[in-house]
């Protein structure tokens, strides 16, 4: 059953509310819910609704980057989003409960294919210029790895930056690497693997610990199959 019959109220009773990420993690999240018996036909359909009610869970669909915001504020009890999002939003007060294992992508440092200017910039100038949509993740990696770099935050196609001279290289999330290859870029270093994670609102986790932990256990078992 789906549709909007008034605002969803999170609290100590009624179905738990789960924030479901649109985009690359959408199908994987719904597949996992199917595995534990949650009906997902409605969100998979053509409806433009953002809220879908089932007997066990209220499903609210949104951008992955918005999931921590809704979960922290208590507008959703639980949410699924990528580790890359959580890495950029470490200040969000949410509990990371579970690595769901799907949606794996690599966070990498990349530069122009066959071009050593990325290394030369650090050696000659003491720092390289790195363009990225993930400035916090990049800064942490730089501090850990010992590299020196100026971090330039961009919002759009980060692959453009080294092609037009804005940066010596980029830090970005890649799946197959096809976009890098098509723009004559190559991976220089792998920073981390990012997968889908289950997060919970801190208050909800205290008030409804038995329900939330039981759901997390079911998802953990399903993800391990």
pLDDT for the residue 84: 97
Tell whether 8 is covered by a domain: no
Q: Into how many domains does the chain fold?
A: 2
Tell whether 153 is covered by a domain: yes
Tell whether 5 is covered by a domain: no
> H-type helices in 90-201, by residue range?
117-125, 135-145, 160-163, 178-182
From first to last of the 225 residues of the chain, give the pLDDT tens digit.
444 444 555 556 789 999 999 999 999 999 999 999 999 999 999 889 999 999 999 999 999 999 999 999 999 999 999 999 999 999 999 999 999 999 999 999 999 998 877 666 666 556 789 999 999 999 999 999 888 889 999 999 999 999 999 999 999 999 999 999 999 999 999 999 999 999 999 999 999 999 999 999 999 999 998
Please give the residue range of the domain that contains residue 188: 105-193
Tell whether 187 is covered by a domain: yes
What is the spatial distance between Cα 163 and Cα 149, in angstroms, rounded to a whole number? 18
Tell whether 47 is covered by a domain: yes
- Whether 87 and 70 share a structural domain: yes
pLDDT for the residue 3: 44
- Whether 78 and 181 share a structural domain: no
pLDDT for the residue 13: 72
- Whether 99 and 199 share a structural domain: yes
- Whether 168 and 117 share a structural domain: yes
- Whether 134 and 166 share a structural domain: yes
Tell whether 123 is covered by a domain: yes
Structure tokens at 98: 């579970």
- Whether 99 and 20 share a structural domain: yes
Tell me the whole-structure pTM to 2 decimals.
0.89
Give the strand pairing for 94-99 and 57-62: unpaired
| Residues forming a β-bridge with 215 | none
> H-type helices in 47-166, by residue range?
67-73, 83-88, 117-125, 135-145, 160-163
| CATH at residue 37 | 3.40.190.10
């Amino acid at each position: 059953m789906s549709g909007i019959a008034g605002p969803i109220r999170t609290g100590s009773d009624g179905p738990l509310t789960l924030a479901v990420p649109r985009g690359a993690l959408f199908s994987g999240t719904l597949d996992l819910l199917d595995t534990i018996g949650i009906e997902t036909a409605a969100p998979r359909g053509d409806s433009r609704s953002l809220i879908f009610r089932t007997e066990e869970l209220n499903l609210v669909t949104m951008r992955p980057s918005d999931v921590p915001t809704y979960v922290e504020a208590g507008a959703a009890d639980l949410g699924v989003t990528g580790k890359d999002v959580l890495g950029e939003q470490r200040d969000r007060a949410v509990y990371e409960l579970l690595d769901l294992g799907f949606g794996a992508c690599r966070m990498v440092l990349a530069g122009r294919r066959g071009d050593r200017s990325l290394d030369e910039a650090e050696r000659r100038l003491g720092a390289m210029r790195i363009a990225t949509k993930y400035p916090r993740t990049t800064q942490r990696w730089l501090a850990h790895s010992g590299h020196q770099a100026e971090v330039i935050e961009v919002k759009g196609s980060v692959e453009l930056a080294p092609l037009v001279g804005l940066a010596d290289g980029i830090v970005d999330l890649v799946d197959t690497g096809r976009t890098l290859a098509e723009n004559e870029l190559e991976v220089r270093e792998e920073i981390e693997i990012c997968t889908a994670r289950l997060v919970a609102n801190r208050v909800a986790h205290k008030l409804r610990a038995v329900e939330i932990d039981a759901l997390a256990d079911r998802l953990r078992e399903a993800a391990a199959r």
